[in-house]
Amino acid sequence: MPTRDPRYDILFDPVAIGPVTARNRFFQVPHCNGMGYRDPSALAAMRGIKAEGGWAVVATEETEIHHTSDISPAIEGRIWDDRDIPAHALVTDAIHEHGALAAIQLVHNGMWAGNFYTRIPPMGPSHRAVAGDISPIQARRMDKSDIVDLRRWHRQAVARSLEAGYDIVYVYAGHNGTTLQHFLSPQYNDRTDEYGGSLENRARLLREVLEDTFEEVDGRAGVACRLAIDELIGDRGLRRDDMDELMSLIGELPDVWDFVAGPWEDDSVTSRFGPENNREDLLRGLKELTAKPVIGVGRFTSPDTMVRMVNQGVLDFIGAARPSIADPFLPNKIEEGRANEIRECIGCNICVAGDWTMSPIRCTQNPAMGEEWRRGWHPETLRRKGDAARVLVVGGGPAGMEAAMSAGRRGYEVVLIEASRELGGRVAKEARLPGLAEWIRVRDYRRDQLDRLDNVAYYFESSMTADEILTYEFDHIAVATGATWRHDGVGRTISRPLEHPPGLEILTPDDLLAGSGPTGRTVAIYDDDHYYMGGVLAELLVREGLEVTLVTPAADASNWAHNTMEQHRIQGRLLDLGVEIVTAHELDHTDPAGLVLRSVYTAQPREVACQAAVLVTSRLPNDALYLELVAQQAASVVAVGDAFSPGTIASAVWDGRRFAEELDAPPLEGPFPRNIAAI
C-alpha cells in the first residue's frame, strides 16, 4: 500500500477555525450545483461524498437568507425560515458522517437579484437597475430601517444554520452578487450617509454583520468571511490596493478569510484562458494583513503547488470548487500516496453550466457528479459484477474509455479495440486546439486507470467488422465509434442538406482536426453549433496566418459559452486577433465566391466572400457498425456516447459510465429517485 509522500505532510496539519478545527488544509469552498432547494437529497449525497473523499471542510452553495433575496430562476440554497432547516440537516448529517466540518454560505443578493419568484422589489445601497442581468427591474435604495432588517434577517439565518448543524457560518461579500459587497464597492454605493463615501463607511455594514454573526454563534461555530479582493475594474470598484486599509478595519473579525478575485467568471476562469493558480498575484501578501487563516482558490490539482502556497505563506487552506468536483477524493489520494491517480479538473466549466441552466451539476471528468443519490453512483467505488460476462468495447474515445474502465472496475473481463494508433478519440484531437491542452487529462486519467486493470486489454489499429465481432462470443458489446461533423450544413438553422457548387472549398471541423486546412487565404466559419468549436477553430486559422470571418445566427460568437462563463473572453480574443464576426445571420446557400447569408431579423441577403468555408453545424453518429450488429441480432449490443447521440465530451463520458453501471442490472422502471414537493 503506498504511503503519503512526506513532502505533502503540511497539507494534513489540522487548522483551527475559531472554536472548531479542520482536520487538514483541504477546504471545499462554496460552489453552486443546480440542485439547491429543489433536490436536497441529491445535494446532501454529493456533499457527503466530498467529506468521504477527505475534504476537511465542505461548504454549501450560496444560501438565500430571506425572501427579499430571490435569485430565481437559479436553483440555489434557501434558509428563509424554519421550514428549510430539515433539508439543511440532510446536508450536515451527510458531511458529519465522514468527519468533516459543514459550512454554510449565507447570502443576501440585493440588487443582483430580480426577485422573479417573490415579486418583491429588490434593494441595495443605491437606486440602480439590477446588476445580475438586463431585466427591466430596478433596486430601491435601502434606508436605515432596511439595514436594521437586513442585520436581523442575517442573524435569524445564522440561528437556523446552527440548528441545522453547521459548524462554520459564512458572511458573504464577494463575486459582485451580494448586498454586503455592493455596500463595499464604489461601483454600486453612491451613498452620502455613514454607510457611503469612505472605505471605512462603505465597510460599516459588513463589519456590523460580522459582529452580529459572532454574537449569534456565541462560540458554537466558526465564522468565515468571503471577500472580493479586487473587482478587476480599476478605480470604479474595490481594488487590491484597498485591502491594507480594509483589513486594518475588519481583518481580525472573522475566524477565517476566504478571498476571491472579481466576479465569478474571473474567480473561475476556464483553462482556455487561465492556468492553474492564475490569481496568485492577487492572493500574495493578504495573509500578512491578518492573524486569521486564509483560504484561496486556483483550480489547484498539483500537490506541489498546494505545498508551495502554504510554505510560502500565501494560504493556510487549499480552497477548491472545480477540483473537488472532478475528484472528490483528491485529499485522500494525496494522503494515501496516490497523487498520480487524481482525476484532474480540465477547467472546461461544464460544471458551471449546470447552475446557469438550472440543472443538476455535471463534470466532464467525473460522471458520478450529481448522480450520487439519483443513480447511486460513486466516483471511486463501483458495485461488483453480477455474472461472468465478457465485454467488448469498440472505440477508444471518451465514451469507450470510460465504458471499458468502469466495466473493468466492476470486475468484468473487457477488451477495448481502437481503430487508430492512439486512445482518446475526439479528446486527443481537440486537445491540440488553442487553449484546450488540459482537456487531454480526460484521456490520460482513463488510460492510466486502464493500465492498472489486469482484466482489461486494449488494442490499436483494430477495425473489426460485425462478422468478426460475432465470432468472439462477447456477452456485451458497446459500440463507441464517435460521430462525424456534417458536410451538408444541416443543423439548427438549415433543415435540408445544402448542395455546394464547385469552386468553394467546403470543410468541417473534422478536416481541420485531421490537419487538412484550407488551401486559400480567406476563410469563413459558419457556426451553428454555438459552443467552443467555431470560436476555437477561428483562433486556430488566424494563428496560421489566414483571414477569418466567423458567421453565426446567434447574437454573439460561441453563444452557449455564456453558460461556461467564457463567451466574453472568446469574443474578445477573436476581436483582438482580427476575426470579423458577423452575428444574427443564417446561411442561405454557398456559391463559388463564398457564403450567401440572410438576416435572422429582416431576411435581407448579405454575402461573405471567401475561398473556403468551414461548416460547424451538427454531427451524425458513426453507427453503421452498431446497426449491422443489431441487424444480425447480436446479443446485448448498445451504442454509447457520440455513436448513440452526439453531444459534449461530458455527455460521452457519462454515457460510458451508464453502460457499465447497467450491465447485469434490471431494467429501470420509471424515473430516477427525486424529491417530490409535499402538499
Positions marked catalytic: 32, 172, 175, 267
129, 132, 181, 560, 562 from 135: Cα distances, Å: 8, 8, 21, 19, 17
Task: Find out whether the peptide bond into 73 is cis, omega within 30 degrees of 0.
Answer: yes
Alpha helices in 226-302 (DSSP H): 243-250, 264-267, 280-283
In 3D space, the residue among 107, 98, 94 whose CA is nearest the CA of residue 43 turns out to be 94
* Cα separation, 162 vs 155, whole angstroms: 11
**3-state SS, residue 128:** strand
Q: Nearest-5° angle of CA 166, CA 171, CA 176?
A: 130
Q: Are 62 and 138 in contact (CB under 8 A)?
A: no
Phi, psi of 638 (to 5 degrees): -135, 150
The x, y and z cell numbers of residue 45, run together, are 449525497
β-strand 612-616 against 101-107: which pairing, if any? Answer: unpaired
Q: How far apart are the C-alpha atoms of 639 and 658, rounded to whole Å? A: 12
Q: Is 347 left (phi over 0), alpha (psi -120 to 50) or beta?
A: left
- DSSP code of 660? H
In whole angstroms, give the CA distance from residue 495 to residue 592.
22
CB–CB of 431/437 below 8 Å? yes
Asked if 103 and 166 touch (Cβ cutoff 8 Å), the reply is yes
Q: How far apart are CA 118 and CA 472, in angstroms?
A: 62
Is residue 348 a contact partner of residue 287, using CB atoms and an 8 Å limit?
no
Which strand (E) or helix (H) includes residue 308?
A: helix 303-311
Measuring CA to CA, which residue among 351, 343, 202, 204 is closest to residue 264? 351
**Cα angle: 661, vertex 663, 665; to 5 degrees:** 85
Rounded (5°) CA angle 297-302-303: 95
Please tell me the distance from the alpha carbon of residue 95 to that of residue 612, in angstroms, as a whole number: 56
End-to-end CA distance of the chain: 52
Read off the amino acid at residue 519.
T
CA 646 from centroid of its chain's CA atoms: 20
How many Cβ atoms sit within 10 Å of the Cβ of residue 531? 17
Instruction: Please report which helix (H) or strand (E) contains residue 537, including its range.
Output: helix 532-543
The sheet carrying 580-582 orders its strands as 505-507, 612-616, 522-527, 547-551, 580-582
